[in-house]
Structure 1
Amino acid sequence: MTVYDFDPSNLPDDYLRAVGLVVVSATETEAVMRDFIGALLGIDNIESIAICAQMPFRLKDDIIRTLNELKAPSASELDNLDDILDQITEAIERRNAIAHSSFPIHPETGQVFRFKEKARRKLSADWVEVTVEELLSIAKEVHEAGLALQGFMAERGLGPRKREEPLREPISRKKKARDDRRAEYGEKY
């Protein structure tokens, strides 16, 4: 019986780099989506970050589609953006398949596989050989999907508005800190 090596620290460096590039490309694409939400809402880049920082991908996608439906000047504009968002969705799904997989290594051949279990209504698993080239192709797909949205925004003069006023120093929001401030400054400070 063959025992595969599931230790990610044993993956070859080119695989680690490629997997990392897939993940970082998706992060950048979601940052473009965040900026687009901010542009559609007319808020600045810091407010966009505050709203979208913990927002899952699907919600970003839904919000962009909904806001664009309210603001788009024509059905063709809606269709153009929907095509780009569909491209992003497909790319992010491919990213998810990579980010949520294990990468076992054959102990004798050194072949690397992608292993992903699923348990939605039934148990299944994918066990597929994966190459660095395939991973780099997914990273490129994810990156180019984000660039397509960025291009859509640029063509329409949409982009994140930079915050002009400085942020105040972070304030502790814990109950003890609030009580201490009230004790020191009174109710209105």
Structure 2
Amino acid sequence: MKVKDLPYQSFPTIFSSIDSFTKNAITAYFDTYKRLPDWLSDLGEIHSSIKPPGWRKFYRVDEETGISVRGEADAIFELNDGAYLIADYKTSKYNPERTYAFEAYEVQLNAYAWIAESAGLSPVNKLVLIFMEPNSSREFAENSDSLSSQGLNLGFVAKIVPVKRHPENLIPPLLKKVRLVSEMKMPPAPRGRCRECRNLDTLIVRIATGIN
């Protein structure tokens, strides 16, 4: 999802650069060969690659709550059967035990599907996470391919993780909760593992007391 920069939220520039490189490389490959790389063949038979709309244009307003949901998908593909697939690239190793992160990704991709289907990209039948896992093994490091004339070559291995598609059952109920919280006079108590809640509380105190 696309949000404005927050003082307690950071996204290291290096990951942003890798994310941009991944999208550009895969898009360029498809434009040249009219197919995806072999290591993405499990995505199915792809008919065409669609340039994802920017977050200013890719949005949907929930009729019941009046909340506008915006985002910018990493990749949208039309399948040979006329359905659509939405993918999101993650520059990290896939860890199935990180259920909290996966739940957030599930909401993210289903929100994209919820928006896309209202914008004419329907039906969205597949949602996938594509983890670009750094190949930092000792074996690769000792291989001559890990070095170039300009420096180091860090390879990435793709891992495809399917995500359950249920936008209509997932997104509207969440938006009702958002509306409920927004109308509270006091915010609800944070969960114990919510780091950003603690950081926001600290920021509010600093602003109120004038502490830098």
TM range (shorter): under 0.3
Larger Rg: 1
Q: TM-score, normalised by structure 2?
A: 0.21
Greater strand percent: which structure?
A: 2
Greater helix percent: which structure?
A: 1
Q: TM-score, normalised by structure 1?
A: 0.23
Q: Which has the higher contact order (CA 8 A, sep 6+)?
A: 1
